[in-house]
Amino acid sequence: MKIYVTGIGVVSAIGSNVDEHRYALEAGRTGIRFSESHNLMLGEVPQSDEALAKRFELSGDDHSRTALLGLAAASECWAGNKPDGQLRTGLISATSVGGLDRMERYYLQAKQNPSLDIHPLMIHDNGRTTETIARALGITGSYIGTVSTACSSGANAIMLGARQIESGRLDRVLVGGSDPIALFNIKGFSSLMIYDPDICKPFDDARKGLNLGEGAAFLLLENERSLSQTGNTPLCLLAGWANATDAYHQTASSPEGRGATLTMRGALAKAGISPEVVSYVNAHGTGTDNNDLSESAALKNVFGAAIPPFSSTKGFTGHTLAAAGAIEAVFCVLSILSDATLPNLNFKTAMKETGFVPETAFRKGSQIENVLSNSFGFGGNCTSLLFQKLH
Amino acid sequence: MYITAASTISHQPTFRNKGFAAGLTVLARPSALLHPDYKSFIPAMNRRRMSDVLAMAMACSVDCLEQCGVAQPDAILVGTSMGSNFFTKTFLDKIANASGPMISPTAFILSTHNTIAGQISLFLENPNYNMTHTQNSLSFEQALLDGMFCLQNGDHHVLVGAADESEDVLYNLNARLKTMDAHATCGASFFVLSAEKSAASPPVRLVDVGSFGLIGDDLSPYVLEFLQVNQLTPDQIDLVLYAGTKPATENALRRMFAGPVLLDYQVFSGVYYTNPAFALHYAVDLLTGERPPPVGNILICNNLIPENLGLLLIDTENARHGTLD
Amino acid sequence: MDALKEELKKHIIEELNLQDVTPDDIIDDAPLFGEGLGLDSIDALELIVIMENYYGIPITDASVGKEILYSIDTMAAYIVNNKPA
């Protein structure tokens, strides 16, 4: 059974729609800047909560930025599509922050002022942010779900959508992820001593860690039956996917890249293709010492001496956690549509352990047929997706 | 597919107490979580970093795998409404109270929603499919559905569970259910779902799972269609275990199900978002107890949040649809 | 020095939540990680926080901390030699 990608939508530090992302990727323009308020490098989306809420005519103060960013990307992706009684339509989103952006604000304020109303605490519920997006788009009475597996969440939401269609339970499904910047995560990654004080440098020998970013992205997946009803033009195929666990450490990746090796091989097997025909790999590439070394080991395991062109795009967006897998999935679709590999910003010197050199320019030339996207998260959770050009 | 192991830690004497369903009484208020002695399930060096929700989930997982003699499940799936909220709050406290320049990272490391499923994988050293579903009151149903996909794709045994801590849900629950008197509790239930039946008698089948969000104010068409897809009519259901807002859910169910016994399972479990997992274990225990009631098809109807609906259908293999013989 | 070691052990037991471990169970020259007390890399970060927050001694690179955090003896020696003026 073929799973068609027929829509994409994305918001991040480098743009508020797909076109702006394409331009930024082509121009090699990062969205990561020094944040005065947090005193470190961040990939922030410039729109305020108020502006986003106004745009979607949401009233009240109980909408987390997770839902607002998610809605910005989901509505671009859903665009002219409509609810249709003949098609079983679902929505699966991913988030790690959920309503925590609001909760942390009130929680820390309540510490100073115990009489403060803790009512807003109740929005710390991942599912609720997904329901806000579904309701606004008119996707109701069907499978509305949320997955949360830390930094692999977005990729897992996409995979789960494909599994739903494959099982015959859904005809089309909007899949993606959303995460805002939360103080919680800034402090958290800093406490792990993996936050680069300068701009992140994935796969560089001098890399010092990640920069956080925020954003959201969604893809519309459809089966043949849905396509014949909607008349949508497919952009490409989601041809393979796999999830596995590193089973090594709660937060660190195994030196031999066990989980990542399993998922890249699994996604290739699911798509029924061999490693030689992979045109480009969008790596997880957070810029931490541990991830980039472990992922490189996994690339070597899967591809041997013939490593395909690869890059991490986190130098553009920062690490957007649960949204990362979805944002990078949109980048993979753009790579296929423009027949171009995407640049890995801030790379100077190859890691001495591997000598691997990532793609450093938006490079057109050869046809991009098969693109792998990697996402790895806490709990050793690893996922790879394979997108394929449609002929 | 078959349910070949079940384990629950709750406010009731459910843990390692086969046949508990027959003797269950209405939960007293207030009530407390009945913790087992975790030492026999979890080594001290692992236990030291575990919140209640992690310890419960781990003990239930170990218990389940022992019951069916499966060393490594082909997948680990967890449904949790609030995940690892204990550590989220702990780390927020550390941010608020930080005296020195450094904050200890342990609580952050253990704060993600998938800490439960991730820790089970680490503990078992299990490299397989690992997923965490967090759709408030439908989290468990969604994990179970994912588990069904795993078996359909060729897996033999998958570990599926639900776990939630109590204090986390209080605010959320009361506001969402528009009632301030919900008897908020907590618990964890884990199951092994297998492609083949085990020696247990009678084998209990998981027939189907449904998860429907934003259904509006009438659950009837969803329930009827779910039964129809499974080639059943309401009169072929022998027992309906339900959770919902009174009297709306009960009235709607009564209009559909004239014959079967309707039982509000929350009088036993108390209220938490993943309590349909408690209901599932209750049903499995009823069917496999010493004196099983004359029940073939059981429907678990989770309408805990009025606009969300979870449906679980189970039966015993030797009960033909609609007739018991 | 002995008082410092005793204090370190208490901090470690408390911050690492070492249930059922007493200061006497921790041997001064035995490795804290792996074979010895059985600590892992999450604990290593906790030890770095103890060094910083209780003794004002920063260890900015987790990887160079390995030798310093080898045992109670090595930690105590590092504290004595690097105490902020």
All residues of chain B having their beta carbon less than 8 Å from the beta carbon of residue A170 are none
Same domain, B140 and B219: no
Last residue of a domain, one of A230, A259, A275: A230
Spell out the domain ranges in chain C: 2-82
Question: Are B89 and B110 spatial neighbours (Cβ–Cβ below 8 Å)?
Answer: no
Q: Is position B101 within any domain?
A: yes
**B residues 79-98 closer than 8 Å to A (CB):** 81-83, 85, 88-89, 91-92, 94-96
pLDDT of residue C85: 65
Residue B322, pLDDT score:
45
pLDDT in tens, A281-301: 999 999 999 999 999 999 999
Task: Using CA coordinates, name the residue in chain A closest to B309.
Answer: A141
Q: Of 1.10.3720.10, 1.10.1200.10, 3.40.50.720, 3.30.1490.480, which CATH number belongs to C2-82?
A: 1.10.1200.10
What is residue A117's predicted lDDT score, i.e. its pLDDT? 62
Point out the catalytic residue in the list A200, A284, A332, A382: A284
Q: Which of B48, B104, B109 sits opposite C18 (nearest CB)?
A: B48
CB contact under 8 A, B105 and C42: yes
- Percentage with pLDDT > 90 across chain A: 88
In tens, the pLDDT along B106-137 reads 999 999 999 999 999 999 999 999 999 999 99
Do you know the residue count of chain A? Answer: 391
Residue A357: what pLDDT?
Answer: 98
User: Rounded mean pLDDT of chain A?
Assistant: 95
Distance from CA of C2 to the nearest CA of A (A): 30
Residue predicted with more confidence, A96 or B318: A96
Please check whether residues B230 and B169 belong to one and the same domain: no
Q: What pLDDT is recorded for position B202? A: 78
pLDDT value at position B324?
41
pLDDT of residue A132: 94
Question: Cβ of A146 and B89 within 8 Å?
Answer: no
Domain count, chain B: 2
pLDDT at residue B298 tops 50: yes
List C-alpha distances in Å: A291 to A268, A334, A355.
Answer: 21, 25, 16
Min Cα–Cα distance to chain C from A250, Å: 9
Same-domain status, A177 and A278: no
> Any chain A CB within 8 A of the CB of B321?
no
Q: Which amino acid is at B87?
A: F
Chain A residues with beta carbon closer than 8 angstroms to that of B133: 145-148
Task: Using a CB–CB cutoff of 8 Å, tell me whether B140 touches chain A.
Answer: no
Inter-chain CB proximity C19 and B47 less than 8 Å: yes
State the pLDDT at residue B319: 57
Q: Is the pLDDT of residue B55 over 80?
A: yes
| Chain C residue whose CA is closest to A208 | C61
Residue B169 pLDDT: 44
CA distance C36 to B268: 47
Is A193 within 8 Å of C42 when comparing Cβ atoms?
A: no
Which residues does chain B have within 8 Å of residue C52's beta carbon, measured at their own beta carbons? 100-102
Tell me: pLDDT of B321 over 80: no
**Cβ contact, residue pair B222, A107, below 8 Å:** no
A126–chain B nearest CA distance, Å = 6
pLDDT mean over A179-202? 96
Count: domains in chain A: 2
CA distance C47 to chain B (A): 9
Domain boundary among B170, B194, B218: B194
- Distance between CA A351 and CA A166 in Å, rounded? 40
For residues B123 and B255, membership in a common domain is answered with no
Catalytic annotation on A63? no
Specify whether the CB–CB gap between A6 and A223 falls below 8 A: no
Please list, in sequence order, all residues whose beta carbon lies within 8 angstroms of the beta carbon of residue B203, skipping any fewer than 6 positions away: B2, B197, B316, B317
The answer to whether A284 is a known catalytic residue is: yes
Q: How confident is the model at residue A124 (pLDDT cuts 50, 70, 90)?
A: low
CA–CA dist B57, B26 (Å, integer): 24
Q: What is the pLDDT of residue B134?
A: 97
Residue B224, number of CB atoms within 10 A of its CB: 14
B180 and B256 within one domain: no
Per this entry, what is the length of chain C? 85
Contacts of A250 in chain C (CB under 8 A): 42
Q: Is residue B321 part of a domain?
A: no
Q: For the residues A365-376, what does the mean pLDDT come to? A: 95
Domain boundaries, position B44: 2-194
Cβ-nearest to B112 among A150, A167, A183: A150
Nearest CB to B135; choose among A104, A127, A251: A127
Pairing of strands A172-179, A215-222: antiparallel
Comparing alpha-carbon positions, the chain B residue that sits nearest to C14 is B48
Residue A252 and residue A277 in one domain: yes
**Interchain proximity C62–A252, CB inside 8 Å:** no
Q: Which B-chain residues 264-323 have CB contacts (< 8 A) with chain C?
A: none
Residue B139 pLDDT class (50, 70, 90 cuts): very high
Residue in chain C nearest B49 by alpha carbon? C17
Which chain A residue lies closest to B49 (C-alpha atoms)? Answer: A250
**Residue B253, domain member (yes or no):** yes
The CATH number of whichever domain residue B172 belongs to comes to 3.40.47.10
Q: How far does CA A20 lie from the centroid of its chain?
A: 17
Mean pLDDT calculated for residue range A271-280: 98
- Quote the percentage of chain B above a pLDDT of 90: 72
Q: Which residue has the tokens 């508990």?
A: B20
Domain holding A258: CATH number?
A: 3.40.47.10
The active-site residue out of A151, A236, A332, A382 is A151
- How would residue B180 be classed by pLDDT, with cut points 50, 70 and 90? very low
Task: Give the 3-state secondary structure of residue B199.
Answer: coil
A200 is known as an active-site residue: no
Whether residues A318 and A223 share a domain: the answer is: no
Spatial separation of the C-alpha atoms in residues B83 and B188, rounded to whole Å: 12
Largest separation between any pair of C-alpha atoms in chain B? 71
Spatial CA neighbour of A152 closest among A9, A366, A18, A323: A323
**What span, in angstroms and rounded, lies between the C-alpha atoms of A179 and A141?**
25
B67 touches chain A (CB under 8 A): no
Average pLDDT estimate for C40-59: 87
* Chain A partners within 8 Å of B127 (Cβ): 244-247, 258-259, 262
Closest residue to B118, CB basis, from A121, A134, A381: A381
Residues B6 and B200: beta-carbon distance below 8 Å = no
- The minimum CA-CA distance between C61 and chain A, rounded to whole Å, is 8
pLDDT at A344: 98
Do residues A320 and A225 both lie within one domain? no
Q: Which tokens hold the place of A365?
A: 């030339």
Instruction: Give the pLDDT of residue A302.
Output: 98
CB contact under 8 A, A193 and C41: no
Contact of A374 with chain B, judged by CB distance below 8 Å, is answered with no
For A4-53, write each residue's pLDDT tens digit.
Answer: 999 999 999 999 999 999 999 999 999 999 999 999 999 999 999 999 99
- Touching C (3+ Cβ pairs <8 A), the chains are A, B
Q: Would you state the pLDDT for residue B140?
A: 98
Out of B164, B194, B224, pick the residue that ends a domain: B194
Contact (CB, 8 A) for A391 and A237: no
Whether pLDDT at A122 is above 60:
no
Same domain, B53 and B158: yes
Strand B2-9 vs strand B204-212: parallel, antiparallel, or unpaired? Answer: antiparallel
Interface touch C42/A191, C-beta < 8 Å: no
The reply to whether A158 and A139 lie within a common domain is: yes
Of residues B167 and B190, more confidence is placed in B190
Asked if A231 and A212 count as a contact pair (C-beta separation under 8 A), the reply is no
Domain hosting residue A277, numbered range: 239-388
Domain-embedded: residue B235: yes
| Same-domain check for residues B216 and B189 | no
- Whether A33 and A167 map to the same domain: the answer is yes
Contact at CB, A249 and C60, closer than 8 angstroms: no
Tell me what pLDDT residue B292 has. 81
Q: Is B325 a residue whose pLDDT tops 60? A: no
CB contact B216 to A (< 8 Å) = yes
Q: Nearest Cβ partner of B106 from C38, C42, C52?
A: C42
> pLDDT tens digits, residue range B59-75?
999 999 999 999 999 99
Q: How far apart are CA A256 and CA A301, in angstroms?
A: 8
Above 60 in pLDDT, residue B152?
yes
Percent helix / strand / coil, chain C, rounded to 5: 55, 0, 40
Residues of chain B with C-beta less than 8 angstroms from the C-beta of A141: 212-216, 222
For residues A341 and C53, the model is more confident at: A341
Q: Considering only CB atoms, which residues of chain A are within 8 Å of chain C?
A: 191-193, 249-252
Contact: A379, B112; criterion CB under 8 Å: yes
Structural domain includes residue B322:
no
- Among the candidates A213, A230, A247, a domain finishes at A230
The residue of B109, B119, B125 whose CB has the most chain A CBs within 10 angstroms, and thus the best one to mutate to test that interface, is B109
Q: Please indicate whether, in this complex, the C-beta atoms of A145 and B103 are within 8 angstroms of each other.
A: no
The pLDDT tens digits of the residues spanning B271-293 come to: 999 999 999 999 999 999 888 88
The pLDDT score that the predictor gives to residue C19 is 77
| B199 located within any domain | no
- Catalytic one of A200, A319, A332, A382: A319
Domain final residue, candidates B174, B194, B214: B194
**pTM for the structure as a whole:** 0.95
Task: Check CB contact under 8 Å for A148 and B92.
Answer: no
